[in-house]
Structure formats: C-alpha cells, structure tokens
Amino acid sequence: MHTRRKFLRVAAGAALATPFIATPGLARGRVLNLQTWSGANSTPFNVISAWAEALNERTNGDLRIRVSPGGSIVSASETFEAMRNGALDAHYSSLGYFATLDPAFIILGDPGPTYANPDQLGNWMNQGGGIELARELYDRFDIHFLRSIYYPSEQFVSKTPIHGISDLQGLKMRIPPGLMSVTFAKAGAATVNIPGGEAYNALQSGIVDAVDWSTPAVNMQTGLYTLAPYSIDARHSMAVIDLAFGKRTWNALGADLQGVLTEASAELDLQMKGALVSEDAAAISSLESGDEVEIITWSEDEIARLREMTQATQAEVATSDISQRILESLVSAA
C-alpha cells in the first residue's frame, strides 16, 4: 500500500507539474475540509488523499485539502448542508444520498443499465451535456458540481444463481432504495432496505439471500463471497460519484485556483479509474481462478430487458423539470 500510494503521489505531481501563479482570491494556505463517502482504508480514500497531497505540493501550499473519511464530520446524507453552512468545503460522494432533495438526483445518481459501461456514462457526463445539467441542479443548492469521478460497474452477490429477470422472482434481496430497488421489485424480487453495516449479518442469518453492495473488489474485501458464492454481473449499477464544493468556498477561491482545481479534477478522474479498474481486475481474476465463486454475466438480451424496465421506472421517477431534462439527455446519448 505504501508503494502504491507513493506511485499515486508521483503520478499526481507529474500531472500537475506546470507552474502555479498564486492569486489573492483565497488566503494562502487555508485548509479546505473535504469529506469522502468511503472509509479510511479504502482505495478511493487513498487515491483522493494522495491527489490532495500532490495538489498541496503543486500550489506551494496555496491549495491545502484535508481529506476525511465518510461519516467522520457529518453523515453522508448531510454533506450538502455542511457545505452550505461552512462545516465542509467540499465532498467526494454518491449522488444517491441526496435523492430526497430532487428526483433528479435519482435519475443522475445511478442510471443503471442505461449505458454499456462506465466509460460511456463518463463521456455523456463530461462531453455530452451531463456536467452542465449537473451544475444547474447543484446550483439550486449553492453547491458547485466540479466533475464526476470514475466509478466501476457493480455486481451483486447471491446465494443462488441469477441468470436473468425471471430468477429475481421471490429473491430476498438487500438493495439500497432508489431506481433499481423499484425496478427489481417490479421484476418480483422481495427487496429489503437494510443499512450497509447490517448487510453481512442479514445475509449470514438468512434474512436476505442476495446483497447489492458494491464492486467485486469491495464485495470480496467485506467477505460477502464467503456467504454467497454467485457474483451477478447484470450491469444494474453504474453510480455517478461527484467532486463538489460549496459555492461560498468555490467563489472565494478566485479564477486561478478554480482553474487549477478544474484541471486537477480531470487527473483525479484518471487516477481513480486506474486504481479501481486494477483493483477489480485483480479481484475478478482471483474469483475466476478458484472454484468457490461463480461470476454470472447476464446475456445482452437479459440486460436489454432490464434496461427497458429501468427506463419505465426512470419515467415514473422524473417528476421535476430538471429531472426530466436530465433523463432526456441521458437516454438520447445512450
């Protein structure tokens, strides 16, 4: 881990090696508080911490970001308000935590199987109009959406083989509330909203037979495959993870520091992709080389069926003007 973090620091420093000219927009050396949605020992936390360290060095201390793990300052669902009132300056988080603010966060936060892979989703976000719509949405809450940061497609774990939609019938499944929980329930799954910290015990005790948790690497790290020997690749979840700043902080930075952060955020996106893709590839290779866990990849026909069901749910959920415009752009680019 030490070697890997050193590599990330060097890579981030090289990517940000152009000279920096200080501006009076923000007092030199002010520490900006950023809370992540991930734990202190997670790969995303390590990557963004190394990125922040390189940014500090790059700007000679004029941009200092203190990175805190999820829940250490406020709960994940409270970071918007914390950025508004100054308790936080920024966050790196999942849009799903803010679904109650506007249905647009549901539509944008995890489009499910709308796209074939996270790269296609990223292309829409950064080049197809997604970032402009996200910024319009965030502006309403005095938050500046800086950029979406790469996150891989997830797989859910199951005690029984799930090859397609019909196998979801009657499946007791822990899945977070949102677009896909509604869609899976329509398919016949008995969806249960259990806090993440209780998912392992629920699977172990038989309260549920399947858990929608995270990527193969994280599923492995949390021991879920010791209880559920099937990893289901249904392309059901491709979360949008953001890097955002409170407007008060963002406006105080000044144009030069804003430009540095904008450029640096693109590098963070690439660094996060490299680390998470590598981590998942290693996990999948480990699973495939053994005989204890089977990865079941749904056929394109089954994924198309799931996509059609998801689009029906999206249309029902998109009740605000901004959510409808996000959905129209999202689907038209797919």
Per-residue pLDDT tens over the stretch 138-162: 999 999 999 999 999 999 999 999 9
Confidence of residue 332 (pLDDT cuts 50, 70, 90): very high
Contact yes or no for 44/269 (Cβ under 8 A)? no
- Residue range 308-321: mean pLDDT, rounded: 97
Per-residue pLDDT tens over the stretch 162-184: 999 999 999 999 999 889 999 99
- Which helix (H) or strand (E) element contains residue 90? strand 90-94
Question: What is the reported pLDDT for 8?
Answer: 39
- Residue range 284-302: mean pLDDT, rounded: 97
Confidence of residue 28 (pLDDT cuts 50, 70, 90): low
Q: Is the pLDDT score of 304 beyond 70?
A: yes
How many CB atoms are located within 10 Å of the residue 301 CB? Answer: 10
Question: What is the reported pLDDT for 5?
Answer: 38
Q: Is the pLDDT score of 15 beyond 70?
A: no
- Which helix (H) or strand (E) element contains residue 219? helix 216-221
Confidence of residue 9 (pLDDT cuts 50, 70, 90): very low
Confidence of residue 23 (pLDDT cuts 50, 70, 90): very low
Report the chain's terminal Cα–Cα distance, integer Å.
Answer: 37
Question: What is the reported pLDDT for 201?
Answer: 97
Burial of 86 by CB count in 10 Å (0-12 exposed, 13-18 middle, 19+ buried)?
A: exposed
Share of the chain above pLDDT 90, in %: 89
Question: What is the reported pLDDT for 30?
Answer: 85
Q: Is the pLDDT score of 25 beyond 70?
A: no
Q: Is the pLDDT score of 13 beyond 90?
A: no
Q: Which domains does the chain have, with CATH numbers?
A: 2-16+25-153+239-280 (3.40.190.170), 155-237+291-332 (3.40.190.170)
- Residue range 299-320: mean pLDDT, rounded: 98
The pTM assigned to this predicted structure is 0.89
Per-residue pLDDT tens over the stretch 73-104: 999 999 999 999 999 999 999 999 999 999 99
Contact yes or no for 234/173 (Cβ under 8 A)? no
Task: State the greatest distance between any 2 C-alpha atoms of the chain, in Å, as a whole number.
Answer: 61
Question: What is the reported pLDDT for 197?
Answer: 86
- Range with the poorest average pLDDT among 24-28, 43-47, 215-219, 282-286: 24-28
Q: Is the pLDDT score of 303 beyond 80?
A: yes
Q: Is the pLDDT score of 2 beyond 70?
A: no
Per-residue pLDDT tens over the stretch 220-245: 999 999 999 999 999 999 999 999 99
Q: Is the pLDDT score of 217 beyond 80?
A: yes
